[in-house]
Structure 1
C-alpha cells in the first residue's frame, strides 16, 4: 500500500498534503481536523462549516485561525455552495471571500472549483464525502472537488480533468490527483439505488454485498477508477488511508455523529512568490 499522503503539521487543526507541498514551497494544500478551534459541542472544536447551525462567529473565528496558521490572507478564501452535483467552475481573485462569511454567498451550485492564480485559497466542506485535489505544477493549476456518492457517480473527478485538458490545454499526463480522508467501506453501507448507479460508471467495482440488497461501498476506489478512466496515470494518484468515521479523534463524520456534527475543509492554493 502507498504511504499516507497526509502528514500531521505542528498545528493540531490540519494535515499537510506532504508529497506535493514538500516539492513546491509556494503550494498550500491539506485537510483540516476537528481539533484546535473554538466551536462548542456538537461542533467541537474546529468546525469550518457555516451551514450546520453552529454559531456563525465561532465558525468565522475558526476560519481566521486556519488562515493565520497557513500564512494566507483571510480574504483569499473561495468557498462554494455545495449541492452534490458535478459542476466545475474556474475562479479568479474576483471570487475571493465568496462564501467566507455566509454559506449561500459561495460559488453557486458548484462542487468543483479551480484556479491558475496565486493568493487564492480554494476550500470546500466535508464530513464523510470524498475530497479530491487536482494539481498541474507545470501549468500553475490547482483544483478541488467534493464527491459524495452522487457527485462520484456523476463523475465530477472526470469533469475536472476533462475541463483542464479541453479548456486549459493541459496534457492529461501532467495532472496529479489526491484522494483525501472520507468514510470507507468499513463504515459505509448503501442500498441497490446507489449501487445501480455505481455499476453504470465503473461496473461491479468498489463494493461488496454484505447482506441482501446492502453493500459496503468504497467511494475512494470508485473515484480512483474514474480518475484513471479520465486518463490520469496511476502513479500520479495519491490516496489517503484515513476513514473519517473510524477516526473519531481526528474528524467529523456525518454518519457516525448522526448528522449533528461539524465540517472539515480540504484546501489548496498558491502563495504569492
Structure 2
C-alpha cells in the first residue's frame, strides 16, 4: 500500500503515521495549487531556484494554512548534498521559513524532540527521508541525493538518535517521493561510490544498461543503509511515487533539465495547546 496519500491538490501525508499519531504532521507537497509561473508553476517552495521571492513566500503561506502550522514555526536549510544534521529547538523557529538567507547553512537534515516546530527541506528528485521514534517523541527529516545517500545521511540520523538513547529498532522511517530507477541514469563514477557503500551480500540497487550507464535505485540503497544501521525492515515504508514519471504532480530537476521548482518535505508535532 502506498504510504503517501493525497489529501488535496497540494499535500500528501504519511497516512499510517498521521492516523496513529493525530498530533503529528508529516508528508510531502506536490507542484499544484500555488501562484508561481513559468518553470516554477505552480507550488514552488524553494527560494534558491530564481523564482520570484514573493511568490515563494505566498506559496509557503498557503501550505502553512493547509497544514495549520504557522510559517513562523518552520525551519529550513541551505542544502548542499552532504550529510550534516542539525538538532533544532523552539529557539530556532522561523530560520529559513520565509528567506533563504537566514536558513541553516550546510545542512541536509533536521531532528527534534520538541513540539511546535515544522522541519522542512526542499526536493526535486532527491530522496526525502522521514524518521520518527514515538516513545521518545523524536522526529526528523533528511535530504538524500546520491551524494547524501553514499555519505550515509540515513545512518547518520540513526547514529545521532543513538546518542539520544534511542535504539534503531525504536525508529520508524518513511522513504518519500523521488526519482525512480528507470528515470535515474548515472555513470560509473557514481556507481563506484555506491559500491563502497553496500554491505556484502546485499541485492544490488543498480543495473547496467549500456557501457558506462547504470539505472540506480536510490530508494533501495537508502533502505539497505537503514537496514544495515539496525532499523528493522518492517519499520521502513517505501513510496512508489516517482518525481520524474509523475509530470503533473511533481517537479523534477532531471526531467526538466534543471529548470524547475521544489517540493517540500515536512514533519512536526503540533503544540499541546493546539490539540486541546
User: Fold match, TM over 0.5?
Assistant: yes
Deviation digits for residues 26-54 of structure 1 (CA, Å, limit 9, x no counterpart): 00000000000010111010000000000
Counterparts in 2 of 1:73-112, with a 5 A limit? 73-112=70-109
Listed as ranges, the gaps of 5+ residues in structure 1 are none
1:233 aligns with 2:232: yes
| Alpha-carbon separation, structure 2, partners of 1:231 and 1:52 | 37
The CA deviation at 1:134 is 0.4
Size of the alignment, in residue pairs?
Answer: 269
> Which sits farther off after the overlay, 56-65 or 203-212?
203-212
Whether the aligned pair in 1 keeps the contact of 2:77 and 2:103 (CA below 8 Å) is: yes
Using the TM superposition, give the Cα deviation of residue 172 of structure 1 relative to its aligned residue in structure 2, in angstroms. Answer: 1.3
Deviations 1:76-125 (CA, angstroms, capped at 9, x unpaired): 10001100000111001111111122213211101011011101000000
Cα displacement (A) at 1:61: 0.5
1:270 aligns to what?
269
**Counterpart for residue 4 of structure 1:** 2
Aligned to 2:152: 155
Counterpart in the other structure of 1:192: 188
- Report what 2:29 is aligned to: 32
Question: Is it true that 1:46 corresponds to 2:43 in the alignment?
Answer: yes
The reply to whether residue 165 of structure 1 matches residue 159 of structure 2 is no
The aligned counterpart of 1:140 is: 137
TM-score for the superposition, normalised by structure 1:
0.97
Deviation, structure 1 residue 14: 0.9
**Structure 1 residue 272, shift from structure 2 partner:** 1.1
- Contact 2:71–2:98 (CA<8 Å) still a contact in 1? no
1:209-238: CA deviations, max 9, x gaps? 000111000000000000001000100000
- SS at the partner of 2:101? helix
Does 1:222 find its partner at 2:221? yes
Structure 2 spans left out of the alignment, 5+ residues: none
Q: Give the corresponding residue for 2:179.
A: 183
Q: How large is the RMSD of aligned CA atoms in angstroms?
A: 0.8
- 1:127-170 Cα shifts (integer Å, max 9, x gaps): 0000000000110010000000000000000000010012x101
3-state secondary structure, aligned to 1:159: helix
Residue in structure 1 matched with residue 241 of structure 2 by the alignment: 242
* Distance in 2 of aligned mates of 1:156 and 1:6: 22
Distance 2:238 2:261 in 1: 23
